[in-house]
């Protein structure tokens, strides 16, 4: 037996060497035929896939933390792959694989059922779309986001808190990137347009603003209930993110953030916190009144925001888009024109900017209805209603220690909803992915709050039963 054992080990080493050689040869061929970057990335993808299979929530954390690296992108024809998108696609695929292997899943939340039905209508858009590749791409990406959201919805409280910390940290990095770019914005046409707006690692200032709206409210909550040793740093991170949001000069997002603050005001500790900040701000303003009144940055922001009151002129061509899009919906009521295909028909309806077609209808509901049909619009309403109901249920339990975290998520989602009335945040993949992660986190928190209430109720009943049994025991 001792003579056979070494030969087996030798065969194992030889077999392993052959496998490694085959993988290296295949990777080399990919480097020559596709791209060296792809070949270098495949081993990391393989390792990450195995790791995320056992710890998929780590992939969620990594995806959020990689948002500041959105400028890094690998292009495969018309398909771009940023770090956040790549990780979320990988985690979504792993979650689906785990489901196939395990064979069962927690009862899906109504919001997820609505989203899934919307996805079924989306894929039918292949029958009518002019650009079918875009439809398929969006369907695959959003399906991965749905799988990730369902994973997060089943997470524990500690994991949800880690997600909020990741949002705060990534928001701070994005803010530093934006502020480092400079504050040399200048107004055009009385503030209706602005040059050199902050955009961080995103391709458009509005995209950065969308994402910051999702990150700031959770950061403000953590600054009050997070680890005491980290609270000063978290508050500084939130302040930086607010400054970066203002530097984007995206009016819809800034108004949406104001809506987030209104939601946070339902929490008494935040009201006291806001009052203290207002008092400090008033004192600082009084001491530095002259410098503040002559601040170029403040003048640019205030002038830009003042254009919100200018009615139709404020939105540029938005009003024309909102008036014209119903005609597109009426012409394609069942399946729309195909997901991501608004730009293929907008020129035919006279919707252009500098001769270029508009990418979307600058409104969430109008864009979904135009691109995916009235059935998808109904699913969107169902999805929003289900998320809103979960948020209301979570916010009813003010005594729960999880209430502030749920409030922060509700504030962020409400702020983005306000912004979606004048823009289309889901059009950016990192924003859509983060949105679905936060929806899953809110669902998870509401579930944990409900479970804790049930446990407390059972405990109270047990105490009552014991109290009722004491007199009879004393008599006996």
Please state, rounded to an integer, the average pLDDT across all residues of the chain: 82
Give the three-state DSSP class for 363: coil
Strands of 369-446, DSSP E: none
pLDDT on residue 17: 59
Residue range 131-148, pLDDT digits in tens:
999 999 999 999 999 999
Task: Give dist(CA 430, CA 174) in Å, integer.
Answer: 13
**Range in 85-89, 145-149, 188-192, 373-377 the model is least confident about:** 188-192
Residue 279's CB is within 10 A of a number of other CB atoms, namely 10
Q: Give the distance from CA 303 to its chain's centroid.
A: 29
> Residue 77 pLDDT > 60, yes or no?
no
Per-residue confidence band for 53, with pLDDT thresholds at 50, 70 and 90:
confident
pLDDT of the residue at 292 = 52
Rounded (10°) CA dihedral 75, 77, 79, 82: 0
Task: Report residue 321 as tokens.
Answer: 């888009």
Give mean pLDDT, residues 40-48.
Answer: 64
Q: pTM for this one?
A: 0.85
What pLDDT digit, counting tens, does each position of 103-138 carry? 666 788 999 999 999 999 999 999 999 999 999 999
Q: What are the tens digits of pLDDT across the range 343-363?
A: 999 899 888 877 788 899 999
pLDDT attached to residue 3? 47
Please provide the size of the chain in residues.
Answer: 476
Kindly state the average pLDDT of the residues 413-438: 95
Average pLDDT of the residues in 409-434: 95
Q: What CA–CA distance (Å, rounded) separates 152 from 428?
A: 20
Alpha-carbon distance of 386 to 413, in angstroms, equals: 13
Q: Using CA atoms, how far apart are residues 374 and 378, in angstroms rounded to an integer? A: 6
pLDDT band of 314, cuts 50, 70, 90: very low
Rounded distance between C-alpha atoms, residue 136 and residue 126, angstroms: 7
Distance CA 322, CA 346 (A): 12
Min mean pLDDT across 59-73, 179-193, 230-244, 395-409 is at: 179-193
Taking the C-alpha atoms of residue 218 and residue 411, their distance in angstroms, rounded to an integer, is 8
In the predicted model, what is the mean pLDDT of residues 334-338? 94
pLDDT greater at residue 347 or residue 455: 347
- Find the DSSP H helices in 288-317: 289-293, 296-306
The residues near 211 (Cβ < 8 Å, ≥ 6 apart) are 67, 171, 174, 202, 428, 430, 431, 434
pLDDT beyond 60 at 34: no
Task: Tally Cβ neighbours within 10 Å of residue 270.
Answer: 22
Residue carrying structure tokens 């209301």: 392
pLDDT of residue 475: 39
Across 58-62, 184-188, 332-336, least confident range? 184-188
Q: What is the mean pLDDT of residues 171-197?
A: 73
Identify the band that residue 260 occupies on the pLDDT scale cut at 50, 70 and 90.
Answer: very high
Nearest to 261 by CA among 249, 278, 248, 284: 278
CB 371 within 8 A of CB 339: yes
SS3 193: strand
Structure tokens at 472: 């009879």
Q: What is the DSSP letter of 373?
A: -
């Amino acid at each position: 037996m001792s003579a056979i054992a070494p030969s087996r080990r030798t065969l194992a080493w030889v077999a392993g060497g052959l496998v490694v050689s085959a993988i290296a040869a295949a990777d080399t061929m990919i480097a020559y035929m596709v791209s060296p970057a792809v070949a270098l990335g495949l081993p990391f993808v393989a390792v990450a896939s195995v790791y995320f299979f056992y710890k998929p929530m780590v992939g969620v954390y990594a995806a959020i933390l990689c948002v500041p690296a959105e400028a890094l992108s690998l292009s495969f024809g018309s398909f771009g792959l940023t770090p956040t998108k790549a990780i979320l696609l990988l985690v979504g695929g792993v979650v689906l694989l785990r489901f196939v292997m395990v064979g069962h899943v927690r009862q899906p939340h109504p919001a997820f059922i609505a989203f899934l039905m919307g996805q079924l209508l989306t894929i039918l858009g292949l029958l009518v779309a002019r650009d079918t590749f875009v439809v398929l791409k969006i369907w695959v990406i959003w399906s991965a986001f749905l799988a990730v959201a369902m994973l997060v919805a089943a997470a524990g409280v500690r994991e949800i808190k880690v997600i909020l910390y990741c949002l705060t940290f990534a928001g701070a990095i994005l803010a530093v990137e934006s502020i480092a770019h400079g504050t040399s914005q200048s107004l055009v046409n009385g503030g209706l347009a602005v040059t050199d707006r902050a955009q961080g690692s995103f391709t458009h200032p509005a995209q950065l603003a969308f994402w910051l709206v999702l990150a700031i409210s959770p950061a403000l909550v953590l600054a009050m209930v997070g680890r005491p040793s980290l609270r000063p740093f978290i508050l500084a991170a939130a302040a930086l993110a607010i400054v970066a949001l203002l530097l984007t000069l995206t009016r819809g997002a800034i108004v949406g953030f104001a809506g987030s603050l209104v939601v946070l005001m339902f929490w008494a500790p935040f009201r006291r916190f806001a009052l203290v900040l207002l008092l400090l701000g008033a004192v600082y303003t009084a001491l530095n009144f002259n410098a503040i009144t002559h601040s170029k940055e403040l003048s640019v922001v205030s002038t830009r925001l003042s254009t919100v009151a200018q009615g139709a002129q404020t939105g540029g061509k938005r009003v024309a888009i909102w008036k014209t899009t119903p005609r597109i919906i009426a012409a394609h009521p069942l399946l729309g024109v195909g997901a991501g295909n608004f730009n293929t028909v907008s020129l035919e309806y006279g919707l252009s900017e500098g001769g270029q077609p508009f990418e979307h209808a600058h409104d969430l509901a109008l864009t979904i209805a135009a691109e995916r049909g009235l059935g998808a619009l109904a699913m969107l309403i169902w999805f929003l209603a289900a998320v809103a109901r979960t948020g209301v249920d979570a916010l009813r339990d003010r005594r729960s220690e999880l209430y502030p975290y749920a409030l922060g998520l509700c504030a962020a989602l409400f702020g983005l909803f306000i912004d979606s009335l004048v823009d289309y945040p889901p059009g950016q993949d990192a924003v859509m992915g983060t949105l679905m992660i936060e929806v899953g986190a809110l669902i998870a928190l509401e579930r944990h709050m409900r479970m804790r209430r049930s446990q407390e109720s059972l405990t109270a009943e047990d105490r009552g039963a014991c109290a009722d049994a004491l007199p009879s025991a004393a008599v006996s």
